Amino acid sequence: MSEHDEATRRKKTAFRFSVSADIDLLKEVVMVVPFDAAYGQTSARWDEVCEHMRQLHGNAMTSVCCRKRFDDLLPAFKKSSLKALRASGTEEEYLERDQLMQDISDMMDIALLRKKAAKLVQERRESDSHLIREAALTGMKRKQAEPDDNASQDEQPFCKSLDSKKGTRNGALRESSSVVANFTVMMEGSDQVRGSGREEGGSCAGTTWARVRTSKICIGQSRARSTVCT
C-alpha cells in the first residue's frame, strides 16, 4: 500500500474523541509534558504521546490528532466551555477531565515561570561576563601605561642635567661679556688719558698697557671656562 493510500485510509477513519479518550490523552500529557519540551523536541514528545494512545485506542490515532485535540481542550477549559465540546461521557468523567485540565494548566504556568527564570539567569551571567571582560581590559590598559610613566620619570634627571649644563654655559658667557665690557671701558679710559696729556705718557702708558694685558689674560681664562662647560 502506498503512502497516499495509507494517508487516505487514516483520513477516512479519523478518530472521534470521547470523554474517556480525552481523559487518556490528558493523562499521557501529564506524563510526557510535551509543553515543557526543549527547543526542537516538542514534536518528538507528541509522537510519544501518540504511541501510548495507539496502544489504548488503535492505529487510527495520530500525533496530529492528539495535539489538535489538546489544543481544543485547553482554551475551552480556560473559557469554562468544555461541555460545549461534543463528547459522550458520564458526569464523573467530565469532573475527572476538568481536574486533569486544571492540573495541566498549573503545570504549564510553572513551566513558563521556570523558563523565564532560566532566561533571567542566563542574561545575568552574560552581563557579569561582559563586566568582567571590561575590567580585565581596563587592567591591561593600565599595565601598558605604567612603563610609559616610568620612562618619563627616568627622563626627568636627564632633562635636569641638560638644564644645569645650559645654566653653567650661560653663566660663563655672562662672565665673558662682563670682562669684555670692562676691557672696553678701560680702552676708552686709556684713550682719554692719551688725549689729555702725552707728557705723562711714560708712566701712564705703562700702567694702561699692564691693565690691557691683565684684561686679555682674564678674557682667555673666561673663554677656557666656557669651553670646559660646553
Domains of the chain: which residue ranges?
3-89
Please compute the mean of the pLDDT values over residues 93-103 and round it to a whole number: 92
Q: Whole-prediction pTM value?
A: 0.50
Q: What is the pLDDT of residue 134?
A: 78
Q: What is the pLDDT of residue 24?
A: 95
Closest CA to 49 of 72, 76, 77, 30: 30
Residue 19 C-beta-side C-alpha neighbours within 13 Å: 18
Highest mean pLDDT among 109-123, 127-141, 162-176: 109-123
Q: What is the pLDDT of residue 138?
A: 82
Q: How many whole angstroms separate alpha carbon 82 and alpha carbon 44?
A: 27
Whether residue 170 is predicted with pLDDT greater than 60 in this model: the reply is: no
